[in-house]
Structures are given as C-alpha cells and as structure tokens.
Structure 1
C-alpha cells in the first residue's frame, strides 16, 4: 500500500503556542507508514493559500492547516471543490472551528487523530467572493475583528478589550435582509452567518449548526441596551443563545444583507471593509475534511 502524500502548512506566529516545536511533535506522533509528509511554514499573509494551491496541483491527499481560524481559512479556501482534503491542528488563539470539531487545543491528540480519521464532505460558505469554513458576519463582531487585525497583539485579552471598547461607541445596523423564504428590515447589533457553531474560546454562537446540512444558521442579535448583551455570554457558554429573546435564529442556504451605512464584515474572524450589500451562499459538500467524528 502506497503512502498518502500530505503537507502541513504551519503559521509560526499563530496564537499563544508560537513556541511549540511543531515539527518535532509531528515526527513523534504521525504514522509514517501511512503518510509521506512535509512541513511548510508561512512567511506572510496569504502564503498558506499559495502553499495549499501548490499541494492541490501536485495531487496531495491532504493539506493540514496548523494554526488558528485564519490559517484554516487560507488553506481551506484553496481546497474548495478539489480532491485534496483539509486537516486541522489547532495552534491559534480562538480556534473556533477546532472547538466545533471537538479537537480543542490538544496538539498531540490532533496529530494522532490524523492516523485514524476518514474523509467527511462538509459545506463551506462564500461571502462576496470570500470563502469561509466556520463563521462570517457583520456588526460588532466584524468591527472588533477588523480592529484586532490592525493590532499586533492577539489572544483573548486583547480581543475582549477591543470588544468592550467598540461596544461603547457602536452604532446599530439598519439592515435590509432577504432570503429565499422572507424579506424584512430591522435594527441589529450583529448578523452572524454560521456554518460551524463556535466563535472561539468555546463560545457557542450557533448551537444547532451542522457542517453538512446545506444550510447556514443565522443569528441576528437585536437592538437593545448595551448592558443586556452581557446576558448573552453565559448563554453562549451553555449553548442556549438561540433561546434568548434578544436573538432571531433561523436556517437558510442563501441570504443577502443590505447595510447602506457600510462598515465591516468578517469571514472566519478576519475583518474586511465591505460594500453596502453582502451576499452569503452555502456551497454544499464542497470540501473534504479529515475527521474522526
């Protein structure tokens, strides 16, 4: 039986575990009878995308994203509608997608999982031409993601402080929302388009989200007094946010959101400036995931 060719793409600057000697851990725990592997390190933003596309062109069995949600996004975006699978080793700060998969932060377990996993087709999403694997959206979270990207400090504390700062000056979004089933207008603090269920740090934003149902879980956070939003924190931790009266929660495969004020949107935690209109669409079973679930 021939060995399967895989490439590890590692972000050496990702998350609080940047000092981990990932090459030594891989060498110690990967099944070398199963895999012929190589390790590549990213040197700049977007480099993971280039390395992943090279692997696709060379017919690699899988590309393993070693990093946070941003690294997973860069790698995964290059694997959409290809035969090359996506694997994940969490090395970031938030690790939302890894939490959804139950991998969490145990790097050794994640490596060992590659030795026993199988291929599972999952959905991805696209927002104005940008792919996402886990969560996208606009509003307060997108503004925080954009501001955090401009800050060299990463991790939970800088993110939390940015959230507090932005929430004090945040202006609600007046949105026109259209799906295949309905159309309406309303004022919201956030519009979350979820493929996976977890933001990061084990905060569950979309408890009913599935990766292979061909639908997004939409979480609209309604306009209210700022202090009431802190009531959503325990609900995210106990996976009951969809039951909150502050939340409108539903499923759809496609949604267009018009925000005349403009601002920011994010895909997998990476913030960008956005046009007035953002179109989100599910791409069913569009990527192969290495999973033991």
Structure 2
C-alpha cells in the first residue's frame, strides 16, 4: 500500500501544463477507507502543481463511470485506488480511449506493480501519472454469449478465485498479502478440484482435474505473489497458470513456493501463453477478475485485447524471460501427468 504520510507537496516540481483534458478520480473507500484521508493533501498538491486539474471523489462505481464518460475521448484520467478501482473503470477507459495514470492505494496493487509505481510515495506517483508519457498495455477479456468482463491483471478460476472473494470480506486490520494468506488458510477447509477442459488458440491443452486455472496479464496476483514471472503486459499474449489435482496438504506445501516464485518446476503446475482460450468445467466454478467477484460459470472464453489501453508506466517494456519453447511441452491430460 502507498503511505499516506509522505513528502510534502513542495518536494515536487511545479509548472504543470496539460496538453489534453486531465482529471484525478479518488475512491475514498480504497485501502479500507484510508484513501479518504488523502483527498485534502491531493487537492492542495494539485492547486500548487497542476492548477486546472480537478479532483473528483466518488465511492460509487456508477457515478465514477458516468464522470469518466463525460470526458473527451483521449483525455487522461488518474485513478487513486487499488486493483478494484482500476477494474471497475476499465470498461470506460476502453470505450472512451482514455489514457490512464495510477496512484496505487489498495490492498492488491498488482497492476500498479506491473507499471512500476506500487512502491512510490503518492506525490511522486501523482506527478508521474500526470506528466509521464503513456505506452500501450494489453488487457484480457472474459467472454460468454451474454457477458464481457475486461481485466487488467488476472482472471482467477477455481480455488484462487474463492480465496480472492473470501479476502474481500477479511478482517479490516489485515491488508495486502497477509489478508490473502488468511483467506487461503480459511479456504483450505473446503478445498475441491474441478474437472476441466482447456483449449488454447484452438488446440486442446488440458483435460483433467485441476485446483485452479487462472489467466494472468501481469507477473503477480493475489497482492504480489509472483505467479508467472515471465508475463509481460505489452506482448500481445496472456498466460494461463494451471494447478492440477492438489489435496489440502499438497496445496499447503505449495503455498511457500508460490510466494517465492519457485512453483513452476512442480509436476502439477503448468503454464502456457495464448491469445484465446476456451474453457469448460464439469460444474460452475468461482471466478474473480482483478480480485473482484464474477458470477460462477461452466463455460467461457478468454481473449487478449492487445495494446488496448494507454497507461503511464515507470517501466520500459521488456521481452519475456522464458522462451516460448519451455512453455509448450506441458501434458494434455491428467493421465499424462502420472
């Protein structure tokens, strides 16, 4: 989480001259309500360093979306909040082609990590969000005949989606990764696997029992767990992280490896890159997009929307760390894993 008590406004240079309409939108409910305390310092900072840029406070998804819809196309919006705030505003960012700057203030901040701003003090993040150049970022999209849900960071399916939903109702005194770990331990009591079938880019890839099958655009999810270290947000691809048939003990022993990013060599952990995925399960399974609940589904498709949104990033694009060939030799079926 971003610290609320940081460098004073006069530690940042002034003289902001926006070349396009710009607005700062703050979700006062972010970070368990702590974001509300940032409103006045941000307002004073903007008056001193970015006169003419408005700060809008809104704790309503509908009102926030309506506010963004009133902005001219190709404007820039700075969102102050966490992954949930970014997720709920993404549909309008896409339809209105709005550029995005992020001041991270939430429990997850996995999109902010991918953009290199998660550890910044808020004045530094705000200045970058207002002044920094933008680059193109991919997003993913969950698709059914009656539903389309775009996401920045991840689409969790199965056990890790159940964990994400439990984390939303976790103790307020827990935040970030500790809350996610609390939710994981609580969900182990009702752990179950699902029979699933997965096809990637038209080719069958998996048919068998799985604990979860989650799609990532960013390297981390679940408040910073390095799930797919080779993932890149601008390569025109998504990553599928699939965990096979784990029991409670196996899942518990895998957790430390997931936290350290050393889980990928395990025989029951599989990763693939793809542009489109067809998914089918024997029964409805829980889903969460960017940590936000999605209605349970049995069948759905996921596609990458390459270079779909303009974002301000403190990171330069980098090529993938793992060669594609190392991700293409995973088994097709559960029986082949034995």
TM over 0.5: yes
Find the counterpart in structure 2 of residue 139 from structure 1.
158
2:288 pairs, out of 230, 249, 266, with: 266
Given the alignment of the two structures, is residue 174 of structure 1 paired with residue 195 of structure 2, yes or no? Answer: yes
- The equivalent of 2:233 in structure 1 is 211
Post-superposition offset of 1:285: 0.7
Mapping of residues 1-80 of structure 1, within 5 Å: 3-16=19-32, 17-25=34-42, 27-28=44-45, 32=49, 36-55=52-71, 58-59=72-73, 61-80=75-94
Cα 1:238/1:165, change in 2 over 3 Å: closer
1:97 paired with 2:111, answer yes
How far apart, in 2, do the equivalents of 1:37 and 1:29 lie? 7
Q: Is 1:191 matched with 2:210?
A: no
Deviation at 1:54, TM superposition (A): 2.3
Count of aligned pairs between the two proteins: 290
Distance 1:143 1:201 in 2: 15
Paired residue secondary structure (1:212) = coil
RMSD: 2.5
Q: Deviations over 1:246-272 (max 9, x none)?
A: 310110011111113103111100012
Q: 2-side partners of 1:112 and 1:221: how far apart?
A: 40
SS of residue paired to 2:134: strand
In structure 1, how many angstroms separate the alpha carbons of the residues matched to 2:36 and 2:18?
A: 34
Larger radius of gyration: 2
Question: Which one has a larger percent strand, Structure 1 or Structure 2?
Answer: 1
| Gap change, CA 1:261 and 1:30, over 3 Å in 2 | farther
Change (3 A) 1:284 1:2: closer
Mapped contact 2:27–2:36 kept (Cα < 8 A): no
Matched residue of 2:112: which SS? helix
Give the CA deviation at 1:65: 1.4
Find the counterpart in structure 2 of residue 162 from structure 1.
183
How far apart, CA to CA, are the structure 2 residues paired with 1:26 and 1:193? 37
Alignment partner, residue 246 of structure 1: 268
Q: Which moved more, 1:226-235 or 1:72-81?
A: 226-235
Which structure 2 residue ranges, 5 or more long, are not aligned? 1-16, 316-338
C-alpha distance in 2 between matches for 1:177 and 1:31: 53
